[in-house]
Structure 1
Amino acid sequence: MWKSSKIYCEKIAKIKISSWWNFPREFRCTAVKHTDKFSENECAILPKETQVVICGGGVMGAAVAYHLSMMGLGSQTILVESGRVGEGTTWHSSGLVGAFKPSLAQVKLAQDSISLYQELTRKGLPTGWKQCGSLNLARTRDRMTSFRRMKAQSVSWNIECELVSPEEAQALCPMIQVNDVIGGLWIPGDGVGDPYQTCLSLIAEAKDRGVHIYENCKITRILNEEGRVVAVETTQGTVECQHFVNCAGFWARNVGKLSEPHVKVPLHAVEHYYLHTKPLAGLDPMTPVVRDLDGYVYFRENKGRILAGGFEPVAKPAYEDGIIPESTSERFLPEDWDHFHILLEQMLHRIPSLGNTILERLCNGPEAFSPDCKWIVGEAPEIRNYYIAAGMKTVGISAAGGVGRATAELITSGSTSLDMYELDVSRFLGLHNNRKFLRDRVKEVPGMHYALQYPNHEFKTGRNLRMSPIYPKLREAGAVFGQVMGYERPSWFQPDEEHELDPLDGSQRYKIAYTNTFGKPPWFDCVAKEYAACRETIGLSDYSSFTKIDLWSNGTEIVDLLQYLCSNDVDVPVGSIIHTGMQNRRGGYENDCSLARIAPNHYMMIAPTIQQTRCKHWISRHLPADGSVAVSDVTSAYTAICIMGPATRQLLSELTDTDLNPKNFPFFTFKELDVGLANGIRTMNLTHTGELGYVLYIPNEFALHVYTRLIDAGAKYGISHSGYYATRALRVEKFYAFWGQDLDTFTTPLECGRSWRVKFDKDIDFIGRDALLKQREEGVKRKYVQLLLNDHDLEFDTWCWGGEPIYRDGKYCGMTTTTGYGFTFKKQVCLGFVQNLDSEGKPQEVTNEYVLSGDYEVDVAGIKFHAKCHLHSPNLPTKFPDVERDAYHATRDQQTS
């Protein structure tokens, strides 16, 4: 098999293989020399107690140890490694260090890493750091649009970069051919490093500051009491500790199983290939890293050789049984030349001279990926003081410096100086840690590295996991599904004539949402009709994915708890609904939710779908120790159907005996209704979109019945299904903030126009009150605004998709967060934050007068469009009766932004 694969490779590539079959398998990657001076005596007994135990001696564990030692915890930190320091994936990875990442948080972490390696290098410590720059190539116009967006964002992210022509790209790297290249992006501040040398240098520095290193010491169990880490059992004894950090690389998932309860660390390994050539005469040591993204490959200079790799569109899972070998020699896998050939062809295409180069070795060193292709960091929701820094994929050296610092900050101060909610382990549910799910998903994930990331990306694997009881009906209606937290949610609905039928059984095919453009999306006309239904007749939307949590107590304990957690006053009359933030000590949003008071000592909380794990974790951290407050996640117990539009009251009145007149059932209140033949329907007189309507929380056994009655009775009113994209458009026009896009753990209510939702005069001193009082006194440094673009051509111009720079009077002042098309405004709508930056780039106080006095532009992929700026939510025209409209808006203004 190997021989035939070798011949196949030679036939395609015409590459000469040098002494390949005599090369010992365990040395088919770059050999490294381990220095014993870093390790404690292997017979040494661990201390009886310490403050921090780090599991994993790769570059990530070394970075955490280094930063803890720099923060004064060196003598109270030990690092435990089951083998030798640096012998995991650290010693065979490519060492690429690039600043551009998919989000601001990842960019800042990568920039921290680069700064750290530069500092270590200046101190004379070996890191292999070389600022050779990186050159990203584009073969398509859409890729160049992506580069233009990156160029625009670089102002916000403080990254020096330039768009280059094919000729300029070839001048930067003469060995590439550019016949099919239409442009590129040159990033001079990028570089490469040696992960192994960096790891040892960080370990040495940490050890000098008191950190103890124990090699050949395997962790067998992590102990906790009352939900907190208390000790770690190892093959060299048990050590009591206050904090545990899981930096075990692609063993991190297995380490997560060494505690009770298990800590989920969703990772799965795939085969990953590195091609090494023999030394090339005349190869410039400052050859830039070249990423041919449309060809899935990269290459760099490495000690006079070419090191090349890539991310094939369909990856090959490794260790599918979940058993990962401990020894290095067993961990490296046989070369699959048939699988590698797609990358090899692209390498030879981009570097024609590679065909005459002697190959030294092809390394198959597996790497682990998370199910969403993002790093995994933060405190585990299952156990307090259990931290995770894993899932760095193939770019651990890019992440290590920044993530190591952030993890050390969490341990020493309980928070970080950078918002990392999108990377936090609490973004996952238990289903994401299912090994079979991970095996399927990981085939798709690595290819995302270099795939063209269009807006609203959807995975094609791991689908049909969580579905509401009305899912089959939605599918029959033509739903095109997106997925959030594993939940299938209609993004939009296709017209009947466009339904596709499965050729096998004639049923309608399951459709996955797509955009596949940076301009006018293919779903535009469908969403426009759904939007119109919600504004003019009746739109029906499935809200079942929303996080739904019941909280109650025998006495007033639940009221006291929520008053402490929430910045708004939740001690409202039974039947009322209150919108509130849950702030942290900085005043930022840990959660943004609605609370319906079901009974004096019973609330139902509705929170964003992505908050299902996170908000439960936040609440559980603050529960009374006596168990007086009960919390139950009822997300999967209820189907949520929202009906919105001017005819919704007439429709629902036909299906219930309850008087729905606003005097009996006011806006923003709750009642339990009979609907059709069903009872116990928790009904809320709001829609989360600013439209008249109701959200019905239906026990699952009644869901299909209630849905059918709504559709049948609503036919005469012109009821129509509406997907997430239509409701999102409604919210963007209404200037509603989205948690996870506009609101995060650093955003305060005072910055986003919600100060009236903060009740400073409550009897209970809520979390974040002092920080908000201080901010109110000093003034905010940024303000949340709505921008309407002028002169933007719907059909031909690139659309806003979030992350666009905002300019005030020609000067950069902020970035867009949430964007969309305003179907009533007939304009692109951008939500975002505006700052007042001084000549040194430091933010100053921002007032309403400052915001409204400026002339604004939004940079959309290199083209600046003038924009009208709003600070308040507009009242859009509706078909409500005048008196009803006025009452609705008056109540809405009290409850929503």
Structure 2
Amino acid sequence: MTTELPSRARVVVVGGGVIGTSVAYHLAGLGWTDVLLLEQGSLSCGTTWHAAGLVGPLRASESGTRLVQYSAELYSSLEAETGQATGYRNVGGVIVARTEDRMVQLRRTAANAAAYDMECELLTPRQAGDLWPAMATDDLLGAIWLPGDGKVNPTDLTMALARGARMRGARIAERVRVLGLTVAGTAAGRRVTGVRAEVAGEEHLVEAEVVVNCAGQWAKALGDQVGVTVPLHSAEHFYVVTEPIAGVHPGLPIMRDPDGWTYFKEEVGGLVVGGFEPEAKPWRSPATIPYPFEFQLLEEDWEHFSVLMDEAVRRVPALADTGVRKFYNGPESFTPDNQFLLGETPGLRGFFVGAGFNSVGIASAGGAGRALAEWVVEGEPSTDLVGVDVRRFAPFNANNTWLRSRVAEVLGLHYAVPWPNRELETARPFRCSPVHDRLAAAGAVFGSKMGWERPNVFAPAGSQARLDYTWGKPSWLPWSAAEQRATRSDVAVFDQTSFSKYVLAGPGALGWLQWVCANDVDVEPGQVVYTPLLNRRGTYEADLTVTRVGPEEFLLVSSSAATVRDLDWLERHRPDGCGATLTDVTTAHAVLGVMGPRSRDLLQPLTDADLGDEAFPFATSRVVSLGFATLRATRMTYVGELGWELMVPVELATGTYDLLKAGGATDAGYYTIESLRLEKGYRAFGRELTPDYGPVEAGLVFATALSRGKEFLGRAALETHRAALAAGGRRRRLVSFVVDSPEPMLWGGELVLRAGVPVGQVTSAAWGETAGACVGLGYLRHDGPVTHDWLASGGFEVDVAGERYAARCSLRAPLA
């Protein structure tokens, strides 16, 4: 490996850990051989070398599972390709449960495995003990066996990827510290042009078309230099390596005891004993990490580690009499939501990130490296990476004080029971709507989305405004049921201020939108169009409404979490020479949804605008007076009832809210929105609508201009999808369902079966008060067309933590 730097490379990868070497390996494999990887120390010297090396393919989502499955396949074949051993061994994994709540999680995990065609077996405590003889089982309720789990030597794996990258044509230079980036252009259109690097005290400039930031816990500091959001923060992570233990051998499975926050794997006859303690220890902020920091550990902290060691001894009693060879305290980087960061950064073209792997970097490196390399080469992801897309965060997420608080909680939840409605508690309240205090006084139980404090549900007078976590029916369900009844039969008000809102205006605005929107937005001013934004593959990048305000002015309203992603996608597809401006106006306006059959009765006395069906039909938007306020009223609904979304200047929001409450509107929250939209079959971006699916599979071709002559991004692929549907054959299709029994509580993610055979998975589910049972949406797969007749033939069940309940599936929503 060389330290002689070229003056130019097509791609510069910053960071020689397992992620950086994987990206270089895959880029070269895709034909981009002019790749230069720069490492400030020696390969693997940052975080990679002290990783535990666990490779568990089964993840919470199908996209995440496929990513790690590929990693395992790659690691098992790398030695044959490169001649460099990786230490990969497929030993299987055991996860044990001490509590019934944990057993429910494991049963749900087993159902996920069935949905993804992976092996997983539920075990009794005795069976678990047979697989792991050194383990105490007297306090266990059960376990699962994952035969696909494996382990690998992190440093050897990195060396194998590096050798593979060099064999394919990439160059690797060690002892080269990247000082910063070079950038060209203005704030409206910046692009990375290279890196400034230091070799033996001398500064060098390397020009590049693309720079990939795989700098681990240094990645944020590099992004900060150029105003790019890379939200991660280091935390101390602990494990020990013990002396040999009788019965421990190289083929011993990995064992995880999440109720004790611990994991175990064999190493040289002893055990690696590590875990994720519930109260974590953040380390330095990214800008203060020392240099050099090569193959270094932090000070031992036996007091902090004791909570893990005490639980480890409980699970493996032999540890009480076994010596410790080495105590590892190595910092690792964590993100605010426990998902890693991948993709091209908004606002700086050509600058990609692969960092913040939250202690799953070894397992994820193969798949993440391939995905990021494909993104670089193709210009967009080839699969659904929304959950790890760097664009899910906004600039305010880069605040180091906020990150320090949040990351301590995130690490501590790594082995917590993954409650389906878990809300993070740290660094809150954060972004508050203008009516936040009024909602709090009314009993709001807040959740958080894109930093916004949003009411999930309202506690009635005399009840404590808090969430409880359970796999069954929660204590707040009657509160949401009452809100649902009010919306269906009377009128409710929803604080939807967190909606993303953009104004696109100026010369060329119409042409720009006509290309990126799959539906036709060339309508009369005051009309609203529901439309997807598709990629070249004809699958979803966004799902929003477009209101035409004037000849070349449009208002776009999208989901709360999509702000940065949407704006970036739109700017990427700005037509050459287009002079229109795109402005984020999210924080300038509150949104109050007034929904229910009595919504017109409430609003009409407050305005001189005619709200009747003929004067103000569905999908109409106008500026009106309402009391003392002038605001935009849009007749649109996400709950399936008569209603208006009122977009109110923030300074007028409290007065408007008070008028609505005085008119008798019931406060309602996002849990109620979820239930009501599922009863009506309304889709949500990120769950039903993702880059893995298009309008054909989602049943939303009607929301496109495919039947008309308009050209739009993704049209050719969408035509191919429709033709494939007409030709028959195996495919997936989104369906609505209602569970026959009112007993079970569904949260999403459940397995769907037909005649006992897995055929799909629930994407969203909630209690439907009008339906009298849980309702939801899910994609089903079938060797032939998913038709009304096939669905009506029945035989469908949902697996709710091992219990199966009959369900009725249909292409029509329960309350269509």
The reply to whether TM is greater than 0.5 is: yes
Measured in 2, the distance between the counterparts of 1:280 and 1:345 equals 17
Residue matched to 1:248:
215
Query: Which one of 32, 36, 56 corresponds to residue 73 of structure 1?
Result: 32
**Is 1:643–1:687's contact at 8 Å kept on the other side of the alignment?**
no
1:810 aligns to 2:760 (yes or no): no
> 617-626 vs 640-649, which deviates more?
617-626
The sequence identity of aligned pairs, in percent, is 38
SS in structure 1 at match of 2:8: coil
SS in structure 2 at match of 1:449: coil
Measured in 2, the distance between the counterparts of 1:561 and 1:430 equals 26
1:207 aligns to 2:166 (yes or no): yes
Pick closer, same or farther for the CA change 1:515–1:381 going to 2, 3 Å. farther
Query: Which one of 152, 155, 167 corresponds to residue 193 of structure 1?
Result: 152
1:394 aligns to 2:359 (yes or no): yes
Query: Which one of 608, 612, 617 corresponds to residue 559 of structure 2?
Result: 608
Measured in 1, the distance between the counterparts of 2:294 and 2:8 equals 34
SS in structure 2 at match of 1:492: strand
Residue matched to 1:233:
196
Residue matched to 2:624:
673
Residue matched to 2:263:
298
Measured in 2, the distance between the counterparts of 1:349 and 1:875 equals 52
**Is 2:49–2:295's contact at 8 Å kept on the other side of the alignment?**
no
Superposed displacement of residue 817, structure 1: 0.4
Query: C-alpha offsets along residues 580-610 of structure 1, whole Å, 9 cap, x if unaligned?
Result: 1111111111110011111221111110111
Residue matched to 1:405:
370
- Aligned AA for 2:412? G
- Which residues in structure 2 correspond to 1:505-584 (within 5 Å)? 514-553=467-506, 555=507, 557-584=508-535
**Is 1:456–1:515's contact at 8 Å kept on the other side of the alignment?**
no
Query: Which one of 843, 852, 865 corresponds to residue 805 of structure 2?
Result: 865
Measured in 2, the distance between the counterparts of 1:531 and 1:849 equals 31
Query: Which one of 63, 71, 76 corresponds to residue 105 of structure 1?
Result: 63
1:745 aligns to 2:685 (yes or no): no
Measured in 2, the distance between the counterparts of 1:330 and 1:192 equals 21
- Aligned AA for 1:359? V
**Is 1:587–1:746's contact at 8 Å kept on the other side of the alignment?**
no
- Which residues in structure 2 correspond to 1:212-291 (within 5 Å)? 212-226=171-185, 227-236=190-199, 237-259=204-226, 262-280=227-245, 282-291=247-256
Measured in 1, the distance between the counterparts of 2:806 and 2:616 equals 44
Pick closer, same or farther for the CA change 1:178–1:405 going to 2, 3 Å. same
SS in structure 1 at match of 2:526: coil
Superposed displacement of residue 102, structure 1: 2.1
1:698 aligns to 2:648 (yes or no): yes
- Aligned AA for 1:740? G
- Aligned AA for 1:161? C
Query: C-alpha offsets along residues 640-675 of structure 1, whole Å, 9 cap, x if unaligned?
Result: 001111111111112112122222222220110111
- Which residues in structure 2 correspond to 1:128-139 (within 5 Å)? 128-139=87-98
Pick closer, same or farther for the CA change 1:330–1:747 going to 2, 3 Å. closer
1:777 aligns to 2:723 (yes or no): yes
Measured in 2, the distance between the counterparts of 1:874 and 1:575 equals 31
- Aligned AA for 1:378? G
Superposed displacement of residue 362, structure 1: 1.2
Residue matched to 1:372:
337
**Is 2:45–2:295's contact at 8 Å kept on the other side of the alignment?**
no
SS in structure 2 at match of 1:567: coil
SS in structure 1 at match of 2:429: coil
Runs (5+) with no aligned partner, structure 1: 1-38, 500-510, 838-843, 877-897
1:488 aligns to 2:453 (yes or no): yes
Superposed displacement of residue 615, structure 1: 0.4
**Is 2:42–2:294's contact at 8 Å kept on the other side of the alignment?**
no
1:724 aligns to 2:724 (yes or no): no
**Is 1:834–1:851's contact at 8 Å kept on the other side of the alignment?**
no
Residue matched to 1:434:
399
Residue matched to 1:23:
none
Query: C-alpha offsets along residues 39-77 of structure 1, whole Å, 9 cap, x if unaligned?
Result: 20x3x1x22222111000001111111111211222x10
**Is 2:500–2:562's contact at 8 Å kept on the other side of the alignment?**
yes
Runs (5+) with no aligned partner, structure 2: none
SS in structure 2 at match of 1:617: helix
- Aligned AA for 1:721? D
Residue matched to 2:779:
833
Q: CA RMSD in A?
A: 1.6
Q: Bigger radius of gyration, 1 or 2?
A: 1
Query: Which one of 63, 68, 73 corresponds to residue 115 of structure 1?
Result: 73
Measured in 2, the distance between the counterparts of 1:752 and 1:186 equals 34
1:451 aligns to 2:404 (yes or no): no
Measured in 1, the distance between the counterparts of 2:646 and 2:351 equals 38
Residue matched to 1:333:
298
Measured in 2, the distance between the counterparts of 1:330 and 1:705 equals 60
Query: C-alpha offsets along residues 91-111 of structure 1, whole Å, 9 cap, x if unaligned?
Result: 111111111222222111111
Measured in 1, the distance between the counterparts of 2:234 and 2:593 equals 41
- Aligned AA for 2:205? T
Residue matched to 2:570:
619
SS in structure 2 at match of 1:218: strand
Query: C-alpha offsets along residues 210-244 of structure 1, whole Å, 9 cap, x if unaligned?
Result: 11111111112222334222222212421221111
**Is 1:322–1:435's contact at 8 Å kept on the other side of the alignment?**
no
> 484-493 vs 248-257, which deviates more?
248-257
Measured in 1, the distance between the counterparts of 2:298 and 2:123 equals 39
**Is 2:626–2:656's contact at 8 Å kept on the other side of the alignment?**
yes
Residue matched to 2:704:
758
Measured in 2, the distance between the counterparts of 1:784 and 1:105 equals 17
Superposed displacement of residue 747, structure 1: 1.3
Query: C-alpha offsets along residues 779-832 of structure 1, whole Å, 9 cap, x if unaligned?
Result: 172211011111x342xx4x2221222223333221110111121111221201
- Aligned AA for 2:390? V
Query: C-alpha offsets along residues 298-354 of structure 1, whole Å, 9 cap, x if unaligned?
Result: 111111221111100110110147411223369521112221111111111111111
What TM-score does the superposition give when structure 2 sets the normalisation length?
0.96
SS in structure 1 at match of 2:582: strand
Measured in 1, the distance between the counterparts of 2:708 and 2:121 equals 53
Superposed displacement of residue 848, structure 1: 4.6
SS in structure 1 at match of 2:9: coil
Measured in 1, the distance between the counterparts of 2:359 and 2:518 equals 42
> 343-352 vs 234-243, which deviates more?
234-243
Superposed displacement of residue 416, structure 1: 3.5
**Is 2:485–2:770's contact at 8 Å kept on the other side of the alignment?**
no
**Is 1:490–1:723's contact at 8 Å kept on the other side of the alignment?**
yes
